[in-house]
Copies of this chain bind each other. A is one copy, B any other.
């Protein structure tokens, strides 16, 4: 049997104690002017004494806004996503928004029900991080006119801010080409949002062509060592992200293939642990904080401006960070 939660003081209690009306208390609490210093002081004293704290649900109900934003993402265990969430939460709280986090784990059915929960909470907007679900979810949000921003993945139909995938992949391929590699493979991440995955794959082929390098479909590989044996094996890889790159290196070395001795590896994201000298992951770094800052800004703008303003897309420039996982072809 359930014990009812303790009753918290309400605006009415404060009004009673300070001998004024609810509206006056409301005015004091919200800092609207037009209250005499004397009353104001009495009210503040009562607020203090009672430990009064306004009830967001009641305020939301009348204001029809919640100052809540939702963040939907695939996997908090992916360091890049986790860092992004952390930064978004910080930027949002600076603008007085509270963040609801939904980790979908890449399961579409979960994703739908989690987003449903966000919508029941009447979040003012939603940020979709590099999310794994199908675009149907996004379409639904747009149809319901819920302000949404895609972070770190691209769409024509909604606000988004992302790194320039093509430029990033080009940086990686150019780096490898410069090191003399000609047989370059691409390793994808199945958990990655489909559009971004495809964009990076396409950019990869295009870059190979630009550098006059052979394109081989059998060199689009999973993150294990199987594709890296045989006489004609690739000598370098561009991974779709750092998380995948790290797992790939693990698999390669377990199979006796040295990195960068036998195979050079370039990642994508720029997560912290890639910088540890033991990993020394050469990577295409995304400007994480800039991404988060702009995402929040875009979302809040959209919340303020409503659904009818045209979508805004922002591309940020990636940066190549050369470390020890790449080397000139032997």
**Which A residues are closer than 8 A to B by beta carbons?**
2-6, 8, 51, 53-58, 60-61, 64-66, 68, 75-77, 79, 82-83, 85-86, 89-90, 93, 98-103, 105, 110, 113-114, 116-122, 124, 144-145, 246, 249-250, 253-254, 272-273, 276-279, 303-308
Residues B100 and A100 in contact, CB atoms below 8 Å apart: yes
- Greatest chain B CB density within 10 A among A75, A103, A277 is at A103
Residues A53 and B99 in contact, CB atoms below 8 Å apart: no
> Which residue of chain B is the closest to A306 with respect to CB atoms?
B3
Residues A64 and B120 in contact, CB atoms below 8 Å apart: no
A-B CB proximity, top 9 nearest: A3-B306, A76-B86, A57-B60, A82-B82, A57-B57, A101-B101, A56-B120, A278-B278, A56-B121
Instruction: Write out the residue numbers on chain B whose beta carbons fall within 8 Å of the beta carbon of A57.
Output: 56-58, 60-61, 66, 121-122
- Residue of B51, B60, B65 touching A144 (CB-CB under 8 A): B51
Whole-angstrom distance between the alpha carbons of A284 and B254 in the complex? 24
Residues B55 and A58 in contact, CB atoms below 8 Å apart: no
Residues B5 and A65 in contact, CB atoms below 8 Å apart: yes
Instruction: Write out the residue numbers on chain B whose beta carbons fall within 8 Å of the beta carbon of A68.
Output: 121
Residues A3 and B76 in contact, CB atoms below 8 Å apart: no
Quick one: given A65-B5, A86-B76, A93-B117, are A122 and B305 in contact (CB under 8 Å)? Answer: no
- Residue of B53, B118, B303 touching A120 (CB-CB under 8 A): B53
Give A146 Cβ to nearest chain B Cβ, in Å.
Answer: 9
